[in-house]
Amino acid sequence: MGSDDDAWFEDYDTDMSNGSGSGGYPSDSDGGHAGSSSSDDDGDDGFERTQPGALVQSRSRLYTIIDRPSLRRLQEEALHQVQGIMGCSATVARTLLTYFNWDAEAVLGTIAERGQDEVYKRAGLLSQSDEAVGTAAGAPPPGADVACLVCMCDVPAGEATAMGCGHTFCNDCWREHMRINITEGMSRRLKCMAHGCGVVCDEDKVKTLLRGQGPLLQKYEQALLESYVDDNKRVKWCPSVPHCGRAVRSKDLNCEVDCACGHKFCFACCEAQHSPATCDMLGDWSRRMKDGSETSSWLNANTKPCPKCSKPVEKNGGCNLVLCRCGQAFCWLCGQATGRAHTWTNIEGHSCGAYKDEAEARATEAQRNLKRYLHYLTRYEANLQACKLEEKLRKDVEVKVEAMSEADPSLANTYWLSDALAQLFLARKCMAYSYIFAYYMFGQEMFKEDFSQEANAINQALFEDKQGQLEAEVERLSQLIENPWPPAGGDEMLSHRMAIINLAANIDTRVQKMYEVIECDIAPQVASRGVGIAPYKGKHATGSGGEAAAEVYRQAQAGGSGGAGPSNSHMPSSDIIDLTEEEGPRSARKGKAPAGIGALATRSKRKAGS
């Protein structure tokens, strides 16, 4: 599409979207599609909502994994939907869907609003009346030769083909035209080769012409099949290397995908999962780390260019006369070249006047920005480094549990430990990228138009409070897992085991509360740009905070009675964490934690007290 088509199509998106003005991705009926399904149609995600319970409910399942057989079936269903409503051929339906990014609702809605003739023209099609006229005009008389205007040869009518637009050329020229376009990746919009025509070739006629060229026909059909992914805004290939062959369809761009092949990625940018940082934040952060922009900030803060050779010079003394290695002396205050004769108070023959407020302010600001960047960078890298040690820690713990299981057979069931390790590393990943989020959100740069300094300070304090609580719990769980454990078979080991289960559940709740601050308090205030953050999908976040955690407690209780796990009655009351407690001034509008957690915690406290 050219620039006019882009503007026209974008105008439709704005007009026909569901009122959000966010780019227009009308939801279609997912039904029961695809091999490994993890999607339903509960509605879009948006930051206008301010109730955490509604956020969790609408995000229960956000995407669908599509394998090759499912891909073909989904494409055929979309084609049949448009064909059934409009009564058109498969070629027309495919061309319309390709033009509208495989959004059937957009096709039908645009035709209803703009008219069929205009839509067909822009998509590279003829209206039904024009197609009938073109077919009649292009049909040669029976037994007559056809003059091919490409090779300038007269060929029998049986060796020429007329497309729906009426243009007729010999089959050899058609095949060469198709070979070139298919080789160059133009299979999905294979157009007539007549000058200025631009009408898409009929799919059945293309297949007939390529029938004797197996590899080329296969490539053409493969491109038509993969068009459902390549031309679809809501479907993307899994970026795994080597490619697993699966695709992912999501109703929301802001989604983190766990492909069936094991690869985890952000649906919007296809990079590694990075929530709660946005794709824009991650992109700028990555560029900073690659191009050394903070090195430039340090140079701006601590050096000045020599007026002769322009190389940076760092001042290492108290005198304002600075001597470059090239031999040029200059004034540190104003940067002008001077002679070498000077005293502690002035430079001979030079007076740059008063103290340079503006230059000093720039240097101070650069130093502040550098320190701020290093603060967040240090914590980001520390948490990522801890995540990289996941496999080593997992193996060390397995060895430890295997050695202790001989004395305590109940430790042979390690579901509770696997759950805690998964939650620990997921929380560390969220914490790492939360520092990128904080760096940009509260830096008064990317979002300076949205917040005053006072509002920015309030948001930062609220976010860092939740971030700090999460960090403390994560470090506590890490110590419980990594430090030496109590002897197996006693009450101390049971208490230690239950403390790990409690902390894993509590960390999940802490992460959810940090996300709630972003989604319910900070994001709704941003008007200058979208804050596209993938929702949290933690180990226990299958419903409103902690339902799966409650299941862990129930399994632990059942295991305690059957010899497979600890009983809550062995836990000291100080180690039972009541996840129903709310924190801060936002408690009045937050959703309640499941009753199961509070009930189990209360029951354990009563047992410990008795």
Which CATH number fits the domain that encloses residue 125?
3.30.40.10
Query: 190 lies in a domain?
Result: yes
* Domain shared by 532 and 392, yes or no: yes
Query: 244 lies in a domain?
Result: yes
Query: 543 lies in a domain?
Result: no
* Domain shared by 437 and 527, yes or no: yes
* Domain shared by 142 and 73, yes or no: yes
Interval 547-568: pLDDT, tens: 444 444 454 455 443 333 333 3
Query: 3 lies in a domain?
Result: no
Interval 239-291: pLDDT, tens: 998 888 899 998 888 888 999 898 999 999 999 999 999 998 999 898 888 76
Decide: residue 228, CB within 10 A, 0-12 exposed, 13-18 middle, 19+ buried: buried
**pLDDT classification of 198: cutoffs 50, 70, 90:** confident
* Domain shared by 198 and 335, yes or no: no
Query: 594 lies in a domain?
Result: no
**Radius of gyration of the CA atoms of the chain, in A:** 33
In this prediction, residue 28 carries a pLDDT of: 36
Whole-structure pTM value: 0.67
* Domain shared by 466 and 523, yes or no: yes
* Domain shared by 331 and 220, yes or no: no
The last residue of a domain, from among 232, 257, 290: 232
Mean pLDDT of 466-474: 94
Query: 9 lies in a domain?
Result: no
* Domain shared by 198 and 257, yes or no: no
DSSP secondary structure of 502-552: HHHHHHHHHHHHHHHIIIIIIGGG--SS----PPP--SSTTSSSSHHHHHH
* Domain shared by 261 and 172, yes or no: no
Is residue 261 part of the annotated active site? The answer reads no
* Domain shared by 152 and 249, yes or no: no
The last residue of a domain, from among 232, 251, 278: 232
Query: Could you tell me the residue range of the domain that residue 240 belongs to?
Result: 236-266
Asked if the model's pLDDT at residue 118 lies above 70, the reply is: yes
The last residue of a domain, from among 217, 232, 247: 232
* Domain shared by 99 and 168, yes or no: yes
Query: 309 lies in a domain?
Result: no
* Domain shared by 119 and 159, yes or no: yes
* Active-site residue (options: 153, 319, 334, 387): 319
Tokens of 230: 């390549």
Average pLDDT, the chain: 74
In this prediction, residue 123 carries a pLDDT of: 86
Residue of 297 and 347 predicted with greater confidence: 347
Interval 344-375: pLDDT, tens: 666 766 766 544 556 566 667 777 888 888 89
Query: 402 lies in a domain?
Result: yes
Percent of the chain topping pLDDT 70: 70
Q: Which residue type, as a one-letter code, is found at position 461?
A: A
Tokens of 419: 């759950």
* Domain shared by 225 and 242, yes or no: no
Q: Residue 463 is part of a domain; what is its CATH number?
A: 1.20.120.1750
Total domains, the chain: 3
**pLDDT classification of 1: cutoffs 50, 70, 90:** very low
How distant is the alpha carbon of residue 334 from its chain centre?
Answer: 47
DSSP secondary structure of 155-183: EEGGGEEE-TTS-EEEHHHHHHHHHHHHH
For residues 223 and 467, what is the distance between their CA atoms, to the nearest angstrom? Answer: 47
